[in-house]
A and B are shown apart, each in its own frame.
Chain A
């Protein structure tokens, strides 16, 4: 490798350290690899950054989560320990607020990432497994959110979890059994917190890490997909930039923007802690699950009103399953731009899903 590619070529001691590490780790090879690797450059490249932004928020989650673990105590003391973190430990409010806000921003970024991948048709061959691992990551992210929401055991968390478990609970036959298993009993209590805690800090991180590893490996293997509009151009007209350092530095710029957004939300709108959950008090009005479960919640509620009893429940769960199934098999249906009718259908399905998600969510918030 020529000398100019090592970042520390000017100052002798630093160069020595670099050479020492390079000899043993092959750093220059990695840099050369990164320089050779390219990322397409076109009108829609901005959407490429949402995968990176999702990962940035995930890293924030890992860091702040570990910090919260230092003072958080699951079980009967859960609320008290979160109260201590929020009001007693210095900057505990900041760490907790960062964890909560970043969780929400991560879910949002993952959704944007998913839909941008969908509309750029980046799930087509050979990237089907990227799509499926991505769906898996979305699922794990949502369970992360659901389990984490209960951990403070304040009033909202308690009732939102109670209400939220109605979604799996409404599945006929196995539903109530599954919900009981998730709660560790017929009601949300200390057992539930302990279970959700284990799920949140042990099981989900392992699953997420494994899925993320595969997902990133696939991205590396197949490179970034280009949207059909770009694919239509002759190869000579397509532009690209090197992954290292150009794309990475742009990624860094987007991370800085994300960090600033997070800092504003975290410090100017600190995440609140409600009063301690008390199973004996009636639920406050307008209890609902977090926004990313709102569409499912609302759909169940509406179908339950229209078709009372088991019919509505089966219908709701059936619709979910059907939607999820279509969403998962879309790479097998919409396979190439040559099949124009299928490609158009795929895009329309995406628009319908996105529209339904937004309408149901907004509707849900309007009626609570």
Chain B
């Protein structure tokens, strides 16, 4: 809570990350898959003596260089920028663990970017053999960047027991390799490589669609059909890898999907499940559409169709990444840190294991916040001592309300409530836009808001919210302040 909160109205900070990240994934996976496509296509053209291919490939590699070298690189930095702002605690945790991993990755990045440039600018300038070798260097370097970042991405969903055993002790980095090769590392790597191969085909269809089918019918037919074939491995292997992946995701994470399956009929708690289904549907459809629209009639295959296929790929990729992110709910680092930076595992402070949740519940979530002045914090402490615990329960609030009219909350209470909201809710919710609190709380009076917050605070075993929301922490007075704040925002 001592980091600033990134307040992005309407979108919310999380959605900003998601938008940048999906854009980045579409390109970065192409950067890896295209790394295989280009040298393989070049080798094939050299072997079969297809000079027309050797005219097409420089065009495709230019498109490739601009897309990956500019948009891929910039959006990658964009992810760093946005996660650092939206989830500083989690980013810090990742850096503390994987700083060495990232250092290696950046070495490969440097090799990747420079070899991509060399590959494009040396077309027809160096011997075909040497040029092809540059292509393979690029392929190797770009694959290595995936091999490394995959470890960190998979870690966030499944840190693994070895790492969790030392989480919060300050010794986390000692389990670097266990954390890196975590339970979902291998299935995730295979899945991503398959996605890379598919996206190489999809993006090649975009440049392929621009070949004039009337002038170069043979080339166009060949490029389009060869590119469509890149979608075939995924179509058959993806389901297997998907099942493997699901098998490695721990029971506790899958409970969210199971809850979704149980409630999809009424549609209540099934966002993740629906996203998974969309991801499966769109992935399965790409090959069919590519076959019908491109493979059967390559000459007629224009940019419109290519964009339609690209749209499906975007839908599949976006849904898959979104599903993976949501599967992690309510954590940002699985079973360790909640989405709002609250740590579930006890933290060692001064050699003593302390649970953040218990500490915040007894001492107050805002007790050490730098966002209030010392005077304010003292005043709040005194006020809490005087009023004592008073978490009123369901029935009480109804009867109590009718008898004595509620006194309007003071400015200080509202300020505390707002700080609670910023610290604990705004990691996922916005007031008016994405996951809007005004919409979610619509129709609830103060008593009803109190009840739902009480449920989140209690975080009971059988609460359906437990599967996807962190516990609400703080003293009773703090939670009451949040109630007042939300009540004023929603009902006034």
Contacts and interface: CB of A to CB of B under 8 A. Distances in A.
A256 interface: yes
Given A239-B214, A246-B296, A268-B274, A257 B302 contact: no
Interface in B408-449: 443
Contact of A267 (B266, B278, B289): B278
Interface in B72-88: none
A43 B209 CA distance: 11
Nearest to A39: B300
A260 B282 contact: yes
Contact of B267 (A45, A47, A94, A246): A94
B299 A264 contact: no
Interface stretch (B16-24, B193-201, B305-313, B341-349): B305-313
Contact of B297 (A93, A250, A257, A263): A250
Contacts of B281: 260, 263
A268 B311 contact: no
Contacts of B292: 249-250, 252-253, 256
A260 B285 contact: yes
A46 B443 contact: no
A109 B288 CA distance: 22
Contact of B265 (A90, A241, A257): A90
Contacts of A270: 267
B312 A250 contact: no
A308 interface: no
B315 interface: yes
Interface string A226-259: 0000000000010101000010011011101100
A43 B299 CA distance: 10
A87 interface: yes
B265 A45 contact: no
B267 A260 contact: no
A254 B293 contact: yes
Contacts of A87: 266
A263 B308 contact: no
A264 B265 contact: no
A91 interface: yes
A267 B312 contact: no
A260 B293 contact: no
A268 B315 CA distance: 12
B266 A90 contact: yes
B492 to A, nearest CB: 14
Contacts of A93: 266-267
B288 A253 contact: yes
Nearest to A48: B304
Interface in B266-291: 266-267, 271, 274-275, 277-278, 281-282, 285, 288-289
B319 interface: yes
A280 B9 CA distance: 33
Contacts of A241: 297, 300
Nearest to B316: A260
A88 interface: yes
Given A43-B302, A46-B302, A267-B277, A256 B297 contact: no
A94 B275 CA distance: 14
B296 A249 contact: yes
Interface string A57-100: 00000000000000000000000000000011011011000000
B441 to A, nearest CB: 14
A149 to B, nearest CB: 20
Interface string B299-339: 11011110010011001000100000000000000000000
Contacts of B319: 264, 268
Contacts of A347: none
Contacts of A46: 302-305
Contacts of A256: 285, 288-289, 292
A93 B266 CA distance: 7
Contacts of B303: 46
B308 A91 contact: no
A87 B266 CA distance: 6
Contacts of B305: 46, 250, 253
Given A46-B302, A241-B297, A250-B296, 18 more contacts: A46-B303, A88-B266, A93-B267, A94-B267, A239-B299, A241-B300, A249-B292, A253-B308, A256-B289, A256-B292, A257-B308, A257-B311, A257-B312, A260-B282, A260-B312, A263-B281, A267-B277, A268-B278
- Of all A-B residue pairs in the complex, the 4 with the closest CB atoms, nearest first, are A46-B304, A90-B265, A253-B292, A253-B293
24 contacts: A45-B302, A46-B303, A47-B304, A87-B266, A88-B266, A91-B264, A94-B267, A237-B214, A241-B297, A246-B296, A246-B297, A250-B297, A253-B288, A254-B293, A256-B289, A257-B289, A260-B282, A260-B285, A260-B312, A261-B315, A263-B281, A264-B282, A267-B274, A268-B278
